[in-house]
A and B are shown apart, each in its own frame.
Chain A
Amino acid sequence: MPIEAHYDEIARCNRCGFCQTACPVFRSTGREAGVARGRIALLRAIIEKRIDWSADLEDPLFACLLCGACTAHCFPALPTADLITDARSDYLDRVGRKPLHRLLFDHLLPYPKRLRLAARAAALGKRTGMSNIAKALGLLRFLGRDFPKAEEIVAQFPAQAFRDKVAPGEFPGRGESLRIGYFVGCGVDIMAPVAAEATLRLLQTVGKTVTVLDNGCCGLPALTYGDRKAARRLAAQNLDLLASHSFDLVVTDCSSCASYLKKYPQLFDEGDRRREQAVAFAAKVRDFVEVAAKAERPRTTSSARVVATYHDPCHASRGQKITKDPRDVLRSLPGVEYRELPEADWCCGGAGSYAMGHYDLARQILERKMANVARTGANLLVTSCPACILQLSYGVRLAKLPVRVCHISELCSPAEAGAVCE
């Protein structure tokens, strides 16, 4: 929807400024244009024709993490992240769409294999003509803006992507009746294959069958950058894929994907046949942690002293209101001492912020996060979103903390638990 359509909603901002409390961007920069109140004031100024669409708006619109922390502190509960997402779309229409976006959204994200290959090639710096592709990939928050250059990411780059090792298809499980589809997020697929394998193993303890899907991107990156059309296309592609199966549950171990898949219905207008399809689909979607919380936990005890703490991905805590499940899981693990992370639900700065050149900003946000991690004294930092894993790992290295970062699935899956803790 064009931003003008939200005028009534935007007018509900009474400028109380309470959103300043927890907006990671504002608390790092101290800038009004970085917080919901300021962003909304700008949208209002645009609607009231007090300012024009121009490149001046790029920063305020694109430096938003879409983390939703502001909404949680806003009494009229203004959905700033959604408003900004729509405004980005207007911005791209009016100020200009980037060729890089088109490359990424139209030519890479719909094709999982192509995406994996491209990422590999870019990481290893194989082909010189790759720079555009590498840049486009840099828009993905699990790779990061400096992806083509970032040696650390390259150093960490897994030898094999998950679906290169484990071919999509149906796997038998030990469960009684559940038929589970495992929706593999791009980030987990490419950057966290170990977590994916652990997820698969745990799902096998729950489902009668587990199908590793050959799905494409969920479409969140496209929507985040304001490309609603591309986002719809990606969603349609996934809905069609799922239509050929009949699952009881569709599980993903990427909290961002999970949160977004649950919102698929919002992408389509009332009356659109896709909408019904999306509603039925969304009802089956589960975040991995929701499943893990109910599944049997490993009983292996590690000999190492494990002090674990947990970072809430925005798309889990605010996107899906999941905060208790992961903590229950961690508290129940034998040999693991759980300590709560101060400001655990503050965005780690990974979200999208790299993309438009807000590298310093992301750094500052990350530093605050790392100071909190250090305060807990934990040696294991657990989370459930690959973009967070990448960002947090980077933070840990920067801050030189003796902390290992892992996906929660690596802890609750039978074979892995001991190893991670060691």
Chain B
Amino acid sequence: MANQQLLTDLRRIVGRGQVETGPVAAATYSYDASLALGEPGTVVFPTDAAQVAAVVKAAAAAGVPCTARGFGTNLSGGSIPARGGVVVCLSRMNRIVSIDPARRCATVQAGLTNLDLQNALAPLGFFYAPDPASQKVSTLGGNIGENSGGPHCLKYGVTSNHVLGMQVVLADGEIVRLGEAAFDPLGLDLRGLFIGSEGTFGIVTEVTVRIMPKSESIITMLAVYDRLGDAARSVAGIIARGIVPATLEMMDSPVINAVEDSIRAGYPRDAAAVLIIEVEGPAAGLKEQAAKIQEVCLANGCRNIREAKDAAERDQLWAGRRGAFGAIARIAPNYLVADCSVPRTRLPEALERVAAIVARYEFKAGNVLHAGDGNLHPLLLFDARNHEHLERVHHAGREIMEACVALGGTITGEHGVGVEKLEAMRLIFNDDDLDFQRSLRRAIDPAERLNPGKVIPAPTRSSGQAGGESGRSPMECGSEATAFAGARTSVPPTAGAALPHSTHSEEKSLLPSDAAEACEMVRAAATSGTALLPVGGGRRAEYGNVSSRELTPLRTDKLTATVEHDPPNQFITVGAGLRWAKLQEILAADRQWLPVRPPLADGCTVGGMVALAACGPERYRFGAVRDRLLGLRFVSGAGRLIAAGGKVVKNVAGYDVTRLIAGSAGTLGLITELTFNVLSIPEVSRAAVARGSLAQVAVAAGELLTSNVEPAFVTVAPDTAGGWRLAVGFEGFETTVKWQIDRCRSVQQRAGLTVADDVNYPVYDGLHAGTFTEIFARPFVLRVDLPPDVVTAFVTQFERVVAGASLLVDLACGRVSAGVDRLADGDWTAVCAAAAKAGGHAILEKAPAEFKQRYDVFGPPRPEWRLIQRIKRETDPHDIFCPGRGPRTNAH
């Protein structure tokens, strides 16, 4: 029961009419779309962040928890109040704050539905990529809570890949901003960590998302199969051909019939399975892609495949898919939907095992799959009024998860853990992994005031120390690594050039031969009070602020094993010490590559690249390094080997530790192993180059980036003649690239630029390797991240500072990288201030130690850095890893 003082407070904060309590509220806020139930005391309907903050404070004062709720459509029990308290319902916070096509972002309140955003964007020719089937009834806050995916995630990625920033109310009622219109917020990726945290870290009140110009053309196909396995094999076959369709959705016979019974989407009732395959992009080459897909399908036992002839037919096909869960509800009152994902070639096996389990438990069932992502949703039909059924269905659900985990998959691809999959978390994480996640919770919400009882199961220390039910122990992994380590040699960096900082004691360097040994070394360091500096290639060892303590290098040179390479499923797991170049070489054997081109790539290890979240301008097309990372292992400050993520593309089990560690610059631990999502090597990589003034470049870039050509990057750099050189890169199939370059050419000419010859550039090095080498040869390397529409203006404003610099301006991602010989104190502070004012930030990627003594390389402190400090303190209590390297909150 709600306490009286709290009720009075809440009514004062949000207004009398916006507080509900009593039996009706308790009954109607006890559920979401899952089978779980909770019991709320009070429900409030705030309209802005200030109200949310005040509510959170009032609840804290009363000692009751708060649970954020959007539209309550999640399928894991995420928005039910598991421990009572106040439900903070954001359904009235549905204002669109701004839509900015030139900046390619939109800012909205968290209670706006995904579809309402799409509808506002459509007339402008833009869209927001994540499109959960529930888009008409799911809010952006809820999408963030669960890190939702949707059919189009195959091509574009999930929510986490599209949220630039958000305004969040923390557990103590403080309002902070995590991320902004500019990419890559400084310090730890808190934005990434909060996404998928199911409302346990903070209540999101406002969201800034990336929006994209709509594709020029779409071809939607319906492929019909007589055997389920053939459909699954076609899926793997298509991806193996190097085609990335926008969607690859699958439905089986019971679902097809349920859909046809309710809305007649046009699926043949006698089919065993159908695939909805959509390709989108520039018209040129799209037909060829569709033809290739049809070929693959027909070769894999497809009965027939047809293209939707118009928008109406396309909508009809999709209406069936979007309504699939609901349609199943016609067969039985309730369904349990599993949400496992497996490497996509294992789909046929996964479906067989699911069928066997379902048969054994005697349930009717249907399957809906985001097949391209390997994400399957078996729907088990039953009547929840029957308690025996209810119990049985949960057992079956558990067995399905076990089966998928055994196939290398995970327990949840997009629906979240909530309360329903709490226990199943132990299937994929051991106690150490879970402990690490708990420590994050302790850092951010120590009193568990926000949505308690979700995401991480309570500790059961009875199972001993490391190695829970997953059957994995750090030892095991380590010995595997050792076995490979001997077989491959890596080039140690030349001393001196590598580690310029005087505080590094090179001769004491630690060189673990496997993860287990690294764990021991870290534990020993804790005992002896030694501070460690993880080192990969060594050329960026000076990154970050200077430590006041002496640092002992902890090198990954020996951690170079290839643990697993699965070309059909497009992932590779390697030791963190493996060189980037070596990784590409291994992948090349299967005509694959990792589409990340970090600065100084030639000398870097994959661990170093990930630690610094380093990438080049191609991230516009291929994503940043953290977007390509499926999972990793690292040794924590407690000397434990922690696993995060997995090897499937969709995975929302637990907190997104992978994103947290990527870019943590060695301050949270030593990365030992990484799993990347890789791609087929593009047929061609070609840039359309043109010369002219910066103003002309800005016009051309503005037009290109809001049009429907799909460049890999758009950069500009000073040319030798005193003007500017614009380069627009395209990578992919020859026909598509050629056509896009033609389009690009006319844009360049219209802007008054002088068109130069096309440049074919090497796949691995890309177009900018040389420029980056020059930039990093200078004593100061300045990086400024800005909203993309203001970068050229910024360069003009700071012309004096960057005069004579080695300079690369990434127009698509809004990044200025400048190597300069001198940087006056006043200039640095002016750059920081101007960047902040423009909605971005600046960082010194490299600076002389003397300069760093006086300035924080991350610029003036930001309120959210408090969280960074707390995470650091909680996960690395002895401050072993790179003390002082990260952003300081008390600088200046």
Report which A residues bind B (CB closer than 8 A): 8, 11-18, 20-21, 26, 29-33, 38, 41-42, 45, 50-52, 54, 56-57, 59-60, 73-77
- CB-defined contacts of B722 to chain A, threshold 8 Å: none
Task: In the A-B complex, list the 8 residue pairs whose CB atoms are closest, starting with the nearest.
Answer: A30-B91, A75-B326, A32-B28, A38-B28, A17-B73, A14-B329, A30-B92, A11-B333
Docked CA distance A17–B78 (Å): 14
Docked CA distance A11–B389 (Å): 14
- CB-defined contacts of A60 to chain B, threshold 8 Å: 24, 28
The tally of CB-CB contacts under 8 A between chains A and B is 99
Q: Are B31 and A16 in contact (CB under 8 A)?
A: no
Can you give 16 A-B contacts (C-beta < 8 A)?
A8-B333, A11-B383, A12-B333, A14-B33, A14-B329, A14-B333, A18-B134, A30-B89, A32-B28, A32-B29, A42-B27, A50-B27, A59-B24, A73-B136, A75-B327, A76-B329
Contact of A45 among B27, B71, B326, B383 (CB under 8 A): B27
B470 at the interface (CB under 8 A from A): no
Docked CA distance A18–B319 (Å): 13
A11-B383, A20-B71, A77-B262 known; A41+B31 contact, CB < 8 A: yes
Q: Are A75 and B262 in contact (CB under 8 A)?
A: yes
Q: Are A51 and B27 in contact (CB under 8 A)?
A: yes
Docked CA distance A291–B20 (Å): 48
A15-B31, A18-B136 known; A33+B383 contact, CB < 8 A: no
Tell me, rounded to whole Å, the shortest Cβ–Cβ distance linking A22 to chain B.
9
- CB-defined contacts of A73 to chain B, threshold 8 Å: 136
Query: Can you name the residue of chain A whose Cβ is closest to the Cβ of B32?
Result: A15
- CB-defined contacts of B20 to chain A, threshold 8 Å: 31, 33
B819 at the interface (CB under 8 A from A): no
Contact of A76 among B71, B89, B326, B384 (CB under 8 A): B326
Docked CA distance A183–B246 (Å): 55
- CB-defined contacts of A31 to chain B, threshold 8 Å: 20, 28, 45, 91
Q: Are B137 and A14 in contact (CB under 8 A)?
A: no
Tell me, rounded to whole Å, the shortest Cβ–Cβ distance linking B96 to chain A.
13
Docked CA distance A29–B47 (Å): 12
Query: Can you name the residue of chain B whose Cβ is closest to the Cβ of A20?
Result: B137
Tell me, rounded to whole Å, the shortest Cβ–Cβ distance linking A43 to chain B.
10
- CB-defined contacts of A75 to chain B, threshold 8 Å: 262, 323, 325-330
- CB-defined contacts of B333 to chain A, threshold 8 Å: 8, 11-14
Q: Kindly name the residue among A16, A21, A29 whose own CB sees the greatest number of chain B CB atoms within 10 A.
A: A16
Given A73-B136, A76-B326, A76-B330, 16 more A-B residue pairs with CB atoms under 8 Å apart are A11-B333, A12-B333, A14-B33, A14-B334, A16-B325, A17-B134, A18-B136, A20-B73, A30-B45, A30-B111, A31-B20, A31-B91, A32-B72, A41-B30, A76-B329, A77-B330
Query: Can you name the residue of chain B whose Cβ is closest to the Cβ of A45?
Result: B27
A17-B33, A41-B31, A75-B329 known; A56+B137 contact, CB < 8 A: no
B23 at the interface (CB under 8 A from A): yes
Q: Are B24 and A17 in contact (CB under 8 A)?
A: no
Docked CA distance A30–B32 (Å): 15
A16-B326, A21-B136, A74-B326 known; A57+B262 contact, CB < 8 A: no
- CB-defined contacts of A8 to chain B, threshold 8 Å: 333
Docked CA distance A51–B91 (Å): 25
- CB-defined contacts of A42 to chain B, threshold 8 Å: 24, 27-28
Tell me, rounded to whole Å, the shortest Cβ–Cβ distance linking B46 to chain A.
10
Query: Can you name the residue of chain B whose Cβ is closest to the Cβ of A78?
Result: B329
Tell me, rounded to whole Å, the shortest Cβ–Cβ distance linking A111 to chain B.
38
Query: Can you name the residue of chain B whose Cβ is closest to the Cβ of A52?
Result: B23
Tell me, rounded to whole Å, the shortest Cβ–Cβ distance linking B594 to chain A.
40
Tell me, rounded to whole Å, the shortest Cβ–Cβ distance linking B251 to chain A.
14
A18-B137, A75-B326 known; A56+B335 contact, CB < 8 A: no
Docked CA distance A18–B138 (Å): 9
B22 at the interface (CB under 8 A from A): yes
B309 at the interface (CB under 8 A from A): no
Q: Are B323 and A17 in contact (CB under 8 A)?
A: no
Docked CA distance A263–B29 (Å): 35
A18-B137, A75-B329 known; A56+B23 contact, CB < 8 A: yes
Tell me, rounded to whole Å, the shortest Cβ–Cβ distance linking A36 to chain B.
11
Docked CA distance A117–B91 (Å): 45
- CB-defined contacts of B328 to chain A, threshold 8 Å: 75
Tell me, rounded to whole Å, the shortest Cβ–Cβ distance linking B870 to chain A.
33
Docked CA distance A129–B201 (Å): 62
Query: Can you name the residue of chain A whose Cβ is closest to the Cβ of B324?
Result: A75
- CB-defined contacts of A56 to chain B, threshold 8 Å: 22-24
B387 at the interface (CB under 8 A from A): no
Tell me, rounded to whole Å, the shortest Cβ–Cβ distance linking A48 to chain B.
9
- CB-defined contacts of B111 to chain A, threshold 8 Å: 30
Q: Are A16 and B27 in contact (CB under 8 A)?
A: no
- CB-defined contacts of B27 to chain A, threshold 8 Å: 41-42, 45, 50-51
- A interface footprint on B32-58 (CB within 8 Å = 1, 0 otherwise): 110000000000010000000000000
- CB-defined contacts of A17 to chain B, threshold 8 Å: 32-33, 71-73, 134, 137
- CB-defined contacts of A11 to chain B, threshold 8 Å: 333, 383-385
Query: Can you name the residue of chain A whose Cβ is closest to the Cβ of B27?
Result: A45
Tell me, rounded to whole Å, the shortest Cβ–Cβ distance linking A241 to chain B.
40
- CB-defined contacts of A32 to chain B, threshold 8 Å: 28-29, 72
Query: Can you name the residue of chain A whose Cβ is closest to the Cβ of B328?
Result: A75
Docked CA distance A59–B25 (Å): 12
- CB-defined contacts of A76 to chain B, threshold 8 Å: 326, 329-330
Tell me, rounded to whole Å, the shortest Cβ–Cβ distance linking B170 to chain A.
24
- CB-defined contacts of A57 to chain B, threshold 8 Å: 24
Tell me, rounded to whole Å, the shortest Cβ–Cβ distance linking A74 to chain B.
7
- CB-defined contacts of A30 to chain B, threshold 8 Å: 45, 89, 91-92, 111
Docked CA distance A31–B44 (Å): 10
- CB-defined contacts of A41 to chain B, threshold 8 Å: 27-28, 30-31
Query: Can you name the residue of chain B whose Cβ is closest to the Cβ of A73?
Result: B136
Contact of A16 among B30, B33, B385 (CB under 8 A): B33
Docked CA distance A29–B71 (Å): 12
- CB-defined contacts of A45 to chain B, threshold 8 Å: 27
- CB-defined contacts of B383 to chain A, threshold 8 Å: 11
- CB-defined contacts of A13 to chain B, threshold 8 Å: 333
Docked CA distance A248–B2 (Å): 63
- CB-defined contacts of B25 to chain A, threshold 8 Å: 33
Q: Are A33 and B24 in contact (CB under 8 A)?
A: yes
- CB-defined contacts of A12 to chain B, threshold 8 Å: 329-330, 333
Docked CA distance A249–B24 (Å): 46
- A interface footprint on B84-120 (CB within 8 Å = 1, 0 otherwise): 0000010110000000000000000001000100000
Q: Which of B290-310 contact A (CB under 8 A)?
A: none
Query: Can you name the residue of chain A whose Cβ is closest to the Cβ of B334?
Result: A14
Docked CA distance A13–B325 (Å): 12
A21-B137, A75-B327 known; A16+B262 contact, CB < 8 A: no
Tell me, rounded to whole Å, the shortest Cβ–Cβ distance linking A27 to chain B.
9
Tell me, rounded to whole Å, the shortest Cβ–Cβ distance linking B257 to chain A.
13
- CB-defined contacts of B91 to chain A, threshold 8 Å: 26, 30-31
- A interface footprint on B8-31 (CB within 8 Å = 1, 0 otherwise): 000000000000101111011111
Docked CA distance A26–B71 (Å): 10
Q: Which of B305-358 contact A (CB under 8 A)?
A: 323, 325-330, 333-335
Docked CA distance A60–B334 (Å): 24
Docked CA distance A11–B329 (Å): 10
Docked CA distance A42–B327 (Å): 23
Query: Can you name the residue of chain B whose Cβ is closest to the Cβ of A14?
Result: B329
Docked CA distance A31–B43 (Å): 10
Docked CA distance A380–B335 (Å): 48
Q: Are B28 and A51 in contact (CB under 8 A)?
A: no
- CB-defined contacts of B73 to chain A, threshold 8 Å: 16-17, 20
- CB-defined contacts of A38 to chain B, threshold 8 Å: 28
Query: Can you name the residue of chain A whose Cβ is closest to the Cβ of B94?
Result: A30
Query: Can you name the residue of chain A whose Cβ is closest to the Cβ of B115?
Result: A21
Docked CA distance A57–B30 (Å): 17
Tell me, rounded to whole Å, the shortest Cβ–Cβ distance linking A34 to chain B.
9
Docked CA distance A76–B330 (Å): 5
Query: Can you name the residue of chain B whose Cβ is closest to the Cβ of A60?
Result: B24
- CB-defined contacts of B32 to chain A, threshold 8 Å: 15, 17
